[in-house]
Chain A
């Protein structure tokens, strides 16, 4: 058995761009996911029957089917609906929808964790409705869900690797191209694994640091 990592190190530039592609997919996907999450929770809280049911059904379907099947479905469904998107945009859409279902669950938990007495106390102290929402509901809610949202972001970053199945531009698809050209499968995927590990450890550290700085006021 001879290992030859030179073919992989030679392609370091494509790998670096692939890693950027992965980060781009993750950040774009998470942005859409957060928007879907907030909208979904707003709809659930409006307590209208049909819209609430649709949101709940969306969450359950997404959470109980594999991402690979979802991305295939979207990839084939869009052209039939007359929408032509490149694979990378399709992947972002799929990641956003998938992450959105999880974001709804996380954000709902955060909003429910704020006792109504707190809002009433804020109003009684003469704060404006918007101030109450911003400082008394939103900030503690974000602080409460920040750890779960962070780990959701890491999970989404790792999930981007599956987007290679529709040839979106990201690290794994770059790796698959290198593998196809050099037949050095193990070396390629071993290196990719290392890069993913570095990405997720760095992201984890960064998010923890942001959390520490943004939410460092006392809990009680």
Chain B
């Protein structure tokens, strides 16, 4: 594998990072909405969120990518491949992050809500100033864990035909007939991105559980 092929892989890696960032940033924005809808006291709003989460957790990410990739143009959106993949990853991430944060919001002790209401805070302030900052801290390990999932998940864009790291690997491998070397390098690149994140997530988790179980 020459420098040219390596540069091609790095270009794919850059796209992997772009896709991950799109999915994660979009997922955070919509995931907050999904989480808040999921804990809403209005039944039909809660049901929509439950359905949304179940839909994305109960189907393969690959199908979600395919449906977005072929379905969005049918709805009249003529999108480039990266945008279709980005939208699918965003929707996927919003459901998973929404569920993670739903758990975190419900894990904040009930007394916190009661105390905030006793102090006369509005629902809005109760959520933003009291519950969400604590929930954010609680959810951090799972959120980082999902970021790793998402980063690995972007590799499925390769099957749709989008040239990110894995697809770049397939192309290079077909050119130089050294699949083990190429996929070994590709795997190492993913590992180099995911492993530090995993360690970081585990670290936060350990620090938090140390605080809880004195």
Contact = CB atoms under 8 A, between A and B. Distances in A.
Given A66-B155, A193-B64, A193-B67, A72 B179 contact: yes
A73 B191 contact: no
Interface string A185-215: 1100110110011001100100000000000
Interface in A26-71: 60-61, 63-70
Contacts of B184: 73
Contacts of A16: none
B59 A189 contact: no
A161 B180 contact: no
A17 to B, nearest CB: 18
Contacts of B166: 66, 68-69, 72
B87 interface: no
B174 to A, nearest CB: 11
Interface in B7-58: 54-55, 57-58
A145 interface: no
Interface in B132-159: 148, 152-153, 155-156, 158-159
Contact of B186 (A69, A196, A200): A69
Nearest to A69: B187
Chain A interface size, under 10 / 10 to 19 / 20 to 34 / 35 or more:
35 or more
A197 B187 contact: no
A165 B166 CA distance: 12
A65 B194 contact: yes
A162 interface: yes
Contacts of A73: 179-180, 183-184, 187
A190 B68 CA distance: 10
B58 A201 contact: yes
A190 B180 contact: no
A64 B63 CA distance: 22
B74 interface: yes
What is the interface of chain B mostly: helix, strand, loop, or mixed? helix
A127 to B, nearest CB: 30
Interface in A158-172: 158-162, 164-165, 172
B66 A185 contact: yes
A191 B99 CA distance: 25
Given A65-B190, A69-B166, A161 B58 contact: no
Among the interface residues A63, A68, A80, which one has the most CB atoms of the partner chain B within 10 A? A68
Contacts of A190: 67, 71
B191 A65 contact: yes
B113 interface: no
A217 interface: no
B183 A72 contact: yes
A200 B194 contact: no
A66 B190 contact: yes
A69 B183 contact: yes
A189 B184 CA distance: 31
Contacts of B75: 1
A192 B63 contact: yes
A185 B179 CA distance: 30
B159 A66 contact: no
A66 B156 CA distance: 9
25 contacts: A1-B75, A60-B195, A61-B191, A63-B148, A63-B194, A65-B191, A65-B194, A66-B190, A68-B158, A69-B155, A69-B183, A73-B184, A73-B187, A80-B180, A154-B58, A158-B60, A161-B60, A164-B62, A172-B62, A186-B70, A190-B67, A193-B63, A193-B67, A200-B57, A201-B58
- Which 9 pairs from chain A and chain B are nearest by CB? A76-B179, A66-B155, A64-B194, A161-B60, A189-B66, A185-B70, A66-B152, A200-B58, A186-B70
